Amino acid sequence: MPFRFPAPDVAHPVSLPDGSSHAGTVFLAAVLDHPRFEVGAYTYASAFDPPQDWAARLAPYLFPFSPERLVIGKFCQIADGVRFITASANHRYDGFSTFPFAIFGGGIEGRPSMPGPGPGTIIGNDVWIGQGATILPGARIGDGVIVGAGSVVAGTIPPYSIVGGNPARVLRPRVPEAVAARLQALAWWDWPIARILSAEAEICGSDLDALERIAGAAA
């Protein structure tokens, strides 16, 4: 019998033994309504004190009028306390003072104390971001990355690597580079959910040949 799996538009996908839903875990695509925040199917976030506004909790400086975007792929896992510090949090730091005079009245458009637009932040697919990690503006985190708890991540992180620390550095690759390339070519996260569940053992295991045979049989 195939396993039952919640649809990606279910807000609270985890059921407790008494049949109630776990309020602290959400599929983000079902609960976000933010013009600058894009998230893929089945990506979830967890919080011990679940907020009313998940976008504000995760990315407090990403405003509806922000020029940058925060893009998160499919099947990502975001632990409690993770924060995305997006570019709208920036101050100018190329001159003598970083003080943002413009935000205290008189309009901010064209004011010399305001920085220019900053880069967006891109998170790949099947990324696990551990407890209390901070993702800085413009970070590019590849598919399959694991971000250690409490890490502060900036820059580009290669696919299928494990990073940790402040500033975060690559601790080791999860798989050899050639294997990472084959996994990205498979892109299992784009398969129909029924096929993903039928291949759960292969996706969570380490037999890449078997996973590629499943992909080939479905082609």
Among residues 171, 167, 165, the alpha carbon closest in space to that of 154 is found at 167
Q: Is 91 tagged catalytic?
A: yes
List the end-to-end C-alpha distance of the chain, in Å, as a whole number: 24
Residues 142 and 158: their CA atoms lie apart, in Å, by: 5
Question: What's 73's DSSP letter?
Answer: -
Whose structure tokens read 């695509």?
Answer: 29
Angle among Cα 45, 47, 49 to the nearest 5 degrees reads 150
The active-site residue out of 12, 22, 34, 91 is 91
Residues 41 and 28: their CA atoms lie apart, in Å, by: 8
Residues 72 and 95: their CA atoms lie apart, in Å, by: 33
Q: What is the residue type of 138?
A: G
Q: Which two tokens stand for residue 81?
A: 């306390």
Q: What is the residue type of 42?
A: Y
Partners of 170 in the beta sheet?
163
Residues assigned a catalytic role:
91
